[in-house]
Amino acid sequence: MGSVTQASLLLHKQLRDLMKNPVDGFSAGLVDDSNIFEWSVTIIGPPDTLYDGGYFNAVMSFPSNYPNSPPTVRFTSDVWHPNVYPDGRVCISILHAPGDDPNGYELASERWTPVHTVESIVLSIISMLSSPNDESPANVEAAKEWRERRDDFKKKVSRCVRRSQEML
């Protein structure tokens, strides 16, 4: 029970900090006020990227042993990107369990550590939107298109941006 209390206290503090000092590029709040472990996040497409002008919604789900284990982040908006699974789950190193990568793609230092906060996670996702990593893609089709047919990739992203604006 202690770790759940510790996790919820930490998440309440991070939420209060973000409310007091909002960070450019995203907004965050709870999906449901009675559950501190489910956050709703809106990421504004970073300027001067293909995602510029988009409003992408995601849900962050925190485990009861946060910050010892990472949350999962899943876009609920359509996002065409090499590092976003077709079901919307975000695939970036810092969201992977701590320790050595069983597949040998990532250094332990690139993976989850308890010093990460909601803010550092979302800023990493914004950075991911700006510069896709097509070396170990979550969406192989998007990565292939990013490498081989950049114009088609740009068109799909433009559609996602337009759709996100229509949802406002």
> Is 91 annotated in the active site?
yes
3-state SS assignment for residue 9: helix
% of the chain at pLDDT higher than 90: 85
CATH of the domain at 68: 3.10.110.10
What total of structural domains would you count in the chain? 1
Can you tell me the mean pLDDT for 52-67? 97
Can you tell me the mean pLDDT for 34-52? 97
* Owning domain of residue 147: 2-166
- pLDDT of 59 > 60? The answer is yes
Put simply, whether the predicted model's pTM sits higher than 0.85 gets the answer yes
Q: Write the DSSP symbol of residue 46.
A: P
- State how far the Cα of 123 lies from the Cα of 12, in Å rounded to an integer: 19
Choose, from 43, 50, 58, 91, the residue flagged as catalytic.
91
- State how far the Cα of 153 lies from the Cα of 16, in Å rounded to an integer: 38
Convert the pLDDT of each residue in 100-159 to its tens digit. Answer: 888 777 888 888 999 999 999 999 999 999 999 888 899 999 999 999 999 999 999 999
